[in-house]
Amino acid sequence: MKLLKWLLAMGCGALVSCAIITVNVYFPEKAVKEAYKSLDEMLLKKDGELLPNGEKQPVVEPKLSQPGSQSSLPLVLPDFSFTSVAHAAESGDDLAIELGSMPEVAAAYAEMSQRQSALGALFNSGAVGLTSQGLVTVRDKTKAGAADEALVSAENRSRKTVISSMAKAILKITKQEATKAALDQTMGKAAATYAETKREAAKPGWWMQLQNGKWVQK
């Protein structure tokens, strides 16, 4: 009997731990996708176009919904937290404003804007493709020289800045603790969503890698 009680106690503890972990890695996919698209429209300019004057937009803190009466059962508590967090990012506006106010993100978009024409030409020729993590990779080295490879490396640094900043913004806006585990899991999902956004914006004929690793042409 004592052994049975001990096993039940361990099982309940494991369930509570799993529930807490789930709350910590809440990911508002729809809002993130909207934010990426908004940022591309606002900050990703064609070569030669002037960027905005650099003034920071005010950060709008989302209002969290207040939980109702709390149950004394420990397994119910994470549900209230999850609901509050979910309401914190119903649209991508807050995320876009938060991300756009980061100097490193503005700088990354300014740099990416200067590469658009050259990068587009590489995509059109089939020299490069879009990876499943939203980065650019050289697929045909016979069509890409040293300067092109340097451009791809620089582009990926900018994209990584945007993705990592998105992960931080998500945790801040949704009021989640920015632990290493939470950042790592959010970063992976932020990269996958960024890649999905870029796939949708890709032109016909461009090479892209699906989440299963398969390469296809749009």
pLDDT in tens, 26-74: 999 999 999 999 999 988 876 544 444 444 333 333 333 344 434 333 3
In a domain, 174, yes or no: yes
User: What are the angstrom distances between the C-alpha of 15 and each of 9, 20, 84, 177?
Assistant: 10, 9, 20, 20
Beta bridge partner(s), residue 130: 136, 208
pTM of the complete model: 0.72
In a domain, 23, yes or no: no
CA dist 119 and 87 (Å) reads 38
| Interval 83-142: pLDDT, tens | 444 445 557 899 999 999 999 999 999 999 999 999 999 999 999 999 999 999 999 999
Name the CA radius of gyration of the chain, rounded.
Answer: 21
* Contact of 174 with 199, CB cutoff 8 Å: no
For the chain, the domain total comes to 1
CA dist 77 and 74 (Å) reads 6
In a domain, 66, yes or no: no
What's CA 4's distance to the chain center, in Å? 44
Q: Which domain holds residue 187?
A: 29-45+75-126+146-192
In a domain, 51, yes or no: no
For strands 207-209 and 128-130, give the pairing. parallel
In a domain, 152, yes or no: yes
* Contact of 130 with 195, CB cutoff 8 Å: yes
In a domain, 63, yes or no: no
In a domain, 69, yes or no: no
Q: Is 201 helix (H, G, I), strand (E, B) or coil?
A: helix
**What is the residue whose two structure tokens read 């606002």?**
42
Per the prediction, the chain carries an average pLDDT of: 79
In a domain, 132, yes or no: no
Q: Which two tokens stand for residue 21?
A: 């972990």
More confident residue, 60 or 185: 185
